[in-house]
């Protein structure tokens, strides 16, 4: 029995697992560990954009990977902004920065060769159409 139903590369697995952990961190941070308001806040919903990309990342969908590469930058910026808050928040923010960086790295490492292959394919098709 394998953990992943689909055949994923290491980079895809890294991006998926890091994104899943980041979603769990966002929920725990804003609901239980250190919410902005006592008893939780609406900030717990910040996991939704990334959570919507998880099924596509799990299946290795290129569109989901591209969208994740743009969405994950918001989590990185939020982690950086909250890095200087008092209390436990700096630890959670550094964890958010680490996980968002891992997601970004995994997605870019996976999409890089695909983009190069698509560009080479387009170039060969345009070369064949000219001749």
Can you give the pLDDT at residue 4?
A: 63
Can you give the pLDDT at residue 27?
A: 95
Using the CB atoms, write b or e for 12-46: b if 16+ within 10 Å: bbbbbbbbbebbebbbebbeeeebeeeeeeeebeb
Can you give the pLDDT at residue 131?
A: 58
- The residues of the chain scoring below 50 in pLDDT are 1
Can you give the pLDDT at residue 2?
A: 63
The total number of residues shown for the chain amounts to: 131
């Amino acid at each position: 029995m394998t953990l992943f139903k689909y055949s994923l590369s290491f980079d895809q697995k890294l991006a998926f697992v890091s994104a899943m952990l980041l979603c769990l961190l966002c929920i725990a941070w804003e609901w239980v560990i250190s919410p902005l308001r006592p008893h939780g806040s609406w900030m717990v919903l910040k996991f939704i954009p990334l959570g919507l990309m998880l099924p596509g990342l799990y299946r290795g969908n290129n569109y989901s990977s591209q969208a994740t590469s743009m969405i994950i930058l918001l989590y990185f910026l939020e982690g950086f902004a909250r890095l200087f808050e008092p209390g436990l928040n700096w630890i959670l923010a550094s964890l958010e920065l680490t996980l968002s960086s891992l997601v970004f790295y995994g997605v870019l490492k996976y999409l890089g060769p695909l983009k190069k292959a698509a560009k080479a394919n387009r170039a060969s098709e345009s070369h064949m159409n000219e001749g």
